[in-house]
Amino acid sequence: MPIWEEHVSLRPYNTFGLDVRARYFARFTSVDELRELLARPETQAGPRLILGGGSNLLLTRDFDGVVLKNEIKELTISAENPAAHTARLRAGAGESWHGLVEFALSQELSGLENLSLIPGTVGAAPLQNIGAYGAELRDTFARLEAVEISSGALREFDREACGFGYRESVFKGPLRNQFVVTAVEFDLHRVSAGRPANVGYGALRDTLAELGYSPDAPTPRQVSEAVVRVRRSKLPDPADIGNAGSFFKNPEIPVAQFEELKARFPDLPGYPAPAGRVKVPAGWLIEQAGFKGQRRGAGAGTHGIHARQALVLVNHGGATGAELWALAEEIIRVVGERFGVELRPEVNIL
């Protein structure tokens, strides 16, 4: 029986550490508990917020609705294919993402190691098709289960039905706020199969060498160690300073626009993207616009941009979500004026 609470602070449940309050709050640990909570008149009346790890969320105000925290736990090998040296891993949506990666490695399974140390929960990962260091969730994704909010029906979604794109899925588009993910399954390779590691990202190869591992033939565990080291060197720990990781998506622009910008800014990096476009690092644009390391506010409300990674907005103390969003809007405006490139948030803004 889920416990129903009122006027609950969400400070412990968002990685920015923002002290906003929810009118109603409850946790669920199973599909049945979720259905029970969805059936309540307060939930059906809305608004609703399904909360995982709170690591991809900027809360700019109190939430005058129902917050349901997903705490469904499960980590199992649901199927095995010895001939193909593969296995299907099933995870409850309330499991931590890095906990899932660690479990896969402990079971001698490869495919998730490049996504090590990404904050948040398993259930939130498909919503934005998380990715890092040359890998994306959709590379190993098999299927997910989700409960329809309006009916309580449990539905399955395969890779095609999820409509994955760059930090996108149908759950951020046409099906936004219509389903609650309850379980996700992945098709992974057995380490014994000797599948080549994904180490095309330059910093990974350098870090593997620093750790004393072969950059040409590392194990999945070694790749994970390298990813963890790289992430910790660039991104602040939310336990130490409030943040939601990369705040902006890397924009994809037409080739002609990239070439025009490259002529004006010769150091501008660019990487091939689908549909003949070029992906430009948002962090580079923000840094060149002069924001990296800036601090705003005074005293407990100090906030700003991280000194080592311009993509990361940080709450140094008691800043509000509205103050952080105002800074984000300023960054979007200045980058747009200087480079003619529109930055879009990767985090969800409430």
pLDDT digits (tens, 9 = 90+) for 124-150: 999 999 999 989 999 999 999 999 999
| Contact between residue 50 and residue 38 where contact means Cβ atoms under 8 Å apart | no
Dihedral angle, C-alpha 241, 242, 248, 250, nearest 10 °: 30
Residue ranges in the chain assigned as alpha helix (H)? 31-38, 41-45, 97-106, 159-162, 202-210, 220-234, 255-264, 282-288, 321-339
* Same-domain pairing of 60 and 186: no
101, HSE (Cβ side, Cα atoms, 13 Å): 24
Residue 295: per-residue pLDDT? 92
Catalytic residue chosen out of the listed positions 27, 48, 90, 167: 167
- Nearest-Å Rg of the Cα atoms of the chain is 21
Are 223 and 261 in a shared domain? Answer: no
Catalytic residue selected from 27, 169, 246, 323: 246
Q: Domain check: are 173 and 288 in the same one?
A: no
CATH number, residue 156: 3.30.465.10
Distance of alpha carbon 240 from alpha carbon 11, whole angstroms: 14
Residue 246 is among the residues annotated as catalytic for this protein = yes
Same domain, yes or no, for 66 and 96?
no
Q: Give yes or no: 78 in active site.
A: no
Structure tokens at 340: 């003619």
Does pLDDT of 200 surpass 90? no
Q: Nearest CA to 194 among 213, 220, 223?
A: 220
Residues 96 and 179 placed together within one structural domain of the fold: yes
The pLDDT tens digits of the residues spanning 91-108 come to: 999 999 999 999 999 999
Q: In this predicted model, what pLDDT tens digit does every residue of 205-257 receive, in sequence order?
A: 999 999 999 999 999 999 999 999 999 988 888 888 999 989 999 999 999 99
Q: What is the CATH number of the domain that holds 265?
A: 3.90.78.10
pLDDT given for residue 300 in this prediction: 63
Q: Are 86 and 79 in contact (CB under 8 A)?
A: no
How many domains are there within the chain? 3
Q: Is 88 in the same domain as 228? A: yes
Q: Which of 234, 261, 295 is the last residue of a domain?
A: 234
Of 70, 104, 122, which residue constitutes the final position of a domain? 70
| pLDDT tens digits along 56-95 | 899 999 999 999 999 999 999 999 999 889 999 999 999 9
Residue 167 annotated as catalytic: yes
Do residues 316 and 295 touch, judged by C-beta distance below 8 A? yes
Q: Are residues 101 and 213 in the same domain?
A: yes
At 46, is the pLDDT very low, low, confident or very high (cuts 50, 70, 90)?
A: confident
Do 264 and 141 share a domain, yes or no? no
Residue 202 has pLDDT above 80, yes or no: no
The one catalytic residue among 71, 145, 323, 346: 346
Q: Are 294 and 303 in contact (CB under 8 A)?
A: no
CATH number at residue 38: 3.30.43.10
Give the structural domain span for 160: 75-234
Given a cut of 70, whether residue 347 has pLDDT beyond it is yes
What percent of the chain has pLDDT above 70? 99
Nearest to residue 26, comparing CAs of 198, 18, 42? 42
Do residues 251 and 195 share a domain?
no
Look up the pTM and report it.
Answer: 0.89
Same domain, 115 and 64: no
Instruction: Among 70, 86, 116, identify where a domain stops.
Output: 70
- Residues 28, 166, single domain; the answer is no
- At residue 93, the pLDDT reads 98
Domain identity same for 280 and 208: no
The sign of the dihedral angle between the CA atoms of 135, 137, 138, 140 is: positive
pLDDT in tens, 303-320: 999 998 999 999 988 899
